[in-house]
Chain A
């Protein structure tokens, strides 16, 4: 058997709070966006001050922070790029994720010791392209979505480079970066962070271009992919040699990020405890369904996706859980948890507490007290801090979720 070291678990962090949760729940590294050059214009994104705090937090856990600077720039967007990379290096960012060679040039010139990872937007899908980037001094490539596990194995055999590959989350249905639907349909530039997700819209399909023709079917033509989930195949990815397992979703909630990170952290650690006897526990797959927003698929890893890997018609019914509260503190004598409300809850609600390392347990809400010790029936005010009676010990930064549909 080949020598295997634990791959990196890489999580998205749309803002500072998400960064802290991702790392606290077990991410080895997070990727964030700065105020410029990132593709998630609508995510909170990080000021330099936020980045400093994020890096300081990550350092305590031995975790790394990467910055996605993955736009396909126009000339006027490149102003300030060199200063940006220089600042990132000084702040202690471990690497930048870049798609546009113009930004590679800027980074290599301004911050030669800052590692560059080539973004999935560059659609790297063969070993010769991987080799090209290796020779350009690039230590890591993020592969295109259109690569199979077998192809990754071959790339790792042929090229000595780190490979980062997505394991969970939403996917472009196109080759990432090779789509300007949004530009054409809404004048929003997809490759500069303005993507309107036009590929997720409903269309009519015609077999003839004459406008008055009726669509082929009443069922809309859609191009949406199910979301990627490699929850059942982490050992295969590790054995193929993937160095970094990447979770998508800088726009996702902290509940989502914490849950997904927790699940994959658990899987990686259990597998390495004893690879030969590892198997996936069904409670783990159930956990991932609690935050799933769409049905799930394994994308291109095992075969070319078919209609079964796409979404048509009404969305599949997926149980929905709300993030009800965040545990700030716990008193072992009173068995009361101090909880910050994130979504309404009340006496009698079935809730579930969870924290890092799968300390999950379910209970009914029996007692709630206000800050001043007054008994409460429900907690409606956002961010209100209350005390909740708990059946088991909980910890700071554990979460409380509630099924809502």
Chain B
């Protein structure tokens, strides 16, 4: 049964200190930041100094900073991770997001009291699994994107900690440790373009592409559609889901900040008004569509979709 008091929170990622500032003003409650050396698919690489500045700023505004430490670490990285956690503990960030029980044991060993949030990406798909991690010290969890809203509602009812779901932006659908793009360029003997996303699609497939990019964690493939759940915000809040995440990956700062404002409005409207004006949310969706990249469609992911197996 739910023990926490329900308070929806808008969780938004940021690429640099300036964006943290702007997102706080735009109405984000929790800003998710990090560095690719320790976090998966961080929006930018923010160093410890800026994490410190961001944390001070957020706290001044009554907002929270959580840092991604959810990379998949091999042996040789463990000592660096310890140092990083030590620094984050000194900064007093509000939480770290992890996906490897190794980090859980490190935090315990170092006797830090940083709240731990669990984001196992594709692996957080049922109530019992999440309870398992909660029992071992996790205070908040992200559920996988490949779940229906109905399943999420059930998980949320049975879990004693807040859960986060993604409501806007692209989702990650694949991660390899290998440099698949670099390998391909080597194979065709072309020079790799640096620092940008590439796009893939099956020959003859209908329009739309899957962004693919490489960083120190390997190769990541992102969804073809951007999630857009703006119209369903009242439905999501009616289900007492705590964290609503916006991923600004491949969005301009301007759009990302604008989308954050739109979701802030949607959440506030839903909480204030008992009667939901659906036209109002259609208007908000229109605002998102207006700034949306023309080549990327918006969708509802797996929230209302059946899967077979």
Contact = CB atoms under 8 A, between A and B. Distances in A.
Interface of A: 41, 72-78, 99-102, 104-106, 122-123, 125-129, 131-133, 135, 144, 146-148, 151, 154-155, 173-175, 177-181, 183-185, 187-189, 191-194, 199, 201-211, 216-217, 219-223, 300, 304-307, 310, 312
Given A189-B146, A209-B293, A129 B102 contact: yes
Given A147-B74, A300-B177, A104 B132 contact: yes
Contacts of A155: 75
B243 to A, nearest CB: 20
A210 to B, nearest CB: 6
A95 B224 CA distance: 40
A183 B199 contact: no
A306 B180 CA distance: 8
Contacts of A123: 72
B251 to A, nearest CB: 13
Interface string B53-96: 00000000000000000001111111000000000000000000
Contacts of A125: 72-75
A337 B76 CA distance: 57
A371 B123 CA distance: 56
A183 B174 CA distance: 11
B278 interface: no
Contacts of A72: 122-123, 125
A191 B308 CA distance: 11
A206 B198 contact: yes
Interface stretch (B200-208, B262-270, B283-291): B200-208
Interface in B290-305: 293, 295-296, 302, 305
B105 A131 contact: yes
Contact of B184 (A78, A131, A221, A305): A221
A209 B211 contact: yes
A137 to B, nearest CB: 13
B127 interface: yes
B257 interface: no
Interface residues of B, number: 72
A242 to B, nearest CB: 15
Contact of A151 (B74, B127, B202, B223): B74
Nearest to A150: B75
A73 B125 contact: yes
A203 B202 contact: yes
5 contacts: A123-B72, A146-B74, A180-B145, A209-B293, A217-B188
B122 A184 contact: no
Nearest to A225: B178
A205 B175 contact: no
Given A105-B131, A222-B184, 12 more contacts: A72-B122, A74-B125, A74-B147, A75-B154, A77-B126, A126-B78, A132-B102, A132-B104, A178-B122, A203-B200, A203-B201, A209-B296
A183 B146 contact: yes
B209 A211 contact: yes
B100 A129 contact: yes
B274 interface: no
A174 B175 contact: yes
A184 B123 CA distance: 16
B12 interface: no
A207 B199 CA distance: 6
Contact of A208 (B186, B199, B306): B199
Contact of B129 (A100, A177, A205): A100
B306 to A, nearest CB: 7
Contacts of B72: 123, 125, 144, 146, 175, 178
A310 B183 CA distance: 8
A132 B128 contact: no
Contact of B190 (A154, A201, A216): A216
Contacts of A201: 202
A102 B132 contact: yes
Interface string B168-191: 000001111111110110111010
- Pairs A-B, 9 closest by C-beta atoms: A194-B309, A128-B102, A102-B128, A101-B132, A307-B183, A192-B309, A189-B309, A132-B101, A203-B200
Contacts of A77: 126
A181 B198 contact: no
Given A128-B78, A175-B176, A211-B207, A74 B126 contact: yes
Interface in B190-230: 190, 193, 196-203, 207-209, 211-212, 218, 221, 223-224
Given A75-B127, A132-B102, A202-B203, A307 B184 contact: yes
Contact of A205 (B78, B133, B199, B208): B199
A68 B81 CA distance: 33
B293 A128 contact: no
A27 B149 CA distance: 45
A180 B186 CA distance: 26
Contact of B126 (A100, A179, A307): A100
B28 interface: no
Nearest to A178: B175
Nearest to A213: B199
Contacts of B193: 207
B22 interface: no
Interface in B101-160: 101-102, 104-106, 121-123, 125-129, 131-133, 145-147, 151, 154-155
